[in-house]
Amino acid sequence: MNNKLTSALVVAVLSSTLGCAQRAVVSYGDATAVETTDINFGSTDLQKVASEMTDSLLLSPVVGTLTANKRPVVFVERIKNKTSEHIDTESITDSVSTRLLRSGKFRFVDMARVEAARKQLQFQNEGGMVDSSKAIQFGRQIGAQFMLYGNLSSIVKNNQDKADVYYKFTLRLMDLESGLVEWADETEIRKTRTKQTVGW
């Protein structure tokens, strides 16, 4: 009798537990939709700064002259994060460089992959496994003519009822031979969160 009672209680507990369980539902969303989860730097902000900076660079008369009859070689230095947040600034530079490559006006050298390229060249030239007549030789890579670099900074203000964050993103294009900055621009974002009192 005790075993039957215990079994019945276990079944009842399990049924009530499973009955109350919630399932997570996963669905696709629009990657370009405005993100309003919080006021921290998010996907909408990344898309905004990448789009505005790329358009500004490509529409610049100076850059138009630089790219009139050639495709300058550029390397992108990682954006300096001067905010108090952990922001993946490499995603910003990836978006900017991808948009510039799509324009057909620039070529890029990937400084983040220099060591990997060096190892591959060493394998081809020193490993003894690659036909020497088909191995890519050292010293033939093309150096960058321009450097694209910038900063992301923020000012955050908080009180009991309101939080305000201001972001400023600056980007510059430097001629590596002369050291002159040929182009520069900045874009700003302000986001505010206000506490709302819900009454009956």
**Model pLDDT for residues 22-77, shown as the tens digit of each residue:** 778 776 666 666 666 667 787 788 888 889 999 999 999 998 999 999 999 999 99
CATH number of the domain encompassing residue 163 = 3.40.50
106-141 confidence digits (pLDDT tens): 999 888 787 888 888 888 888 788 888 888 888 778
The answer to whether residue 184 sits within a structural domain is yes
| Beta carbons within 10 angstroms of residue 140's beta carbon | 7
The answer to whether residue 158 sits within a structural domain is yes
The answer to whether residue 16 sits within a structural domain is no
Give, in order, the Cα–Cα distances in Å from 120 to each of 111, 126, 140. Answer: 15, 10, 14
The answer to whether residue 132 sits within a structural domain is no
| Beta carbons within 10 angstroms of residue 17's beta carbon | 9
* CB contact set of 104 (below 8 Å; sequence gap of 6+): 71
Q: In this structure, what token pair is assigned to residue 194?
A: 């206000």
Please tell me the total count of domains within the chain.
1
- Domain with 90, as residue range(s), is 31-109+144-194
Supply the pTM of this predicted model.
0.73
Residue 171 has pLDDT above 90, yes or no: yes
The answer to whether residue 98 sits within a structural domain is yes
Q: How many residues does the chain have?
A: 200
Confidence band (pLDDT; 50, 70, 90) for 4?
low
Distance of CA 19 to the CA centre of its chain: 42
The answer to whether residue 171 sits within a structural domain is yes
The answer to whether residue 78 sits within a structural domain is yes
The answer to whether residue 138 sits within a structural domain is no
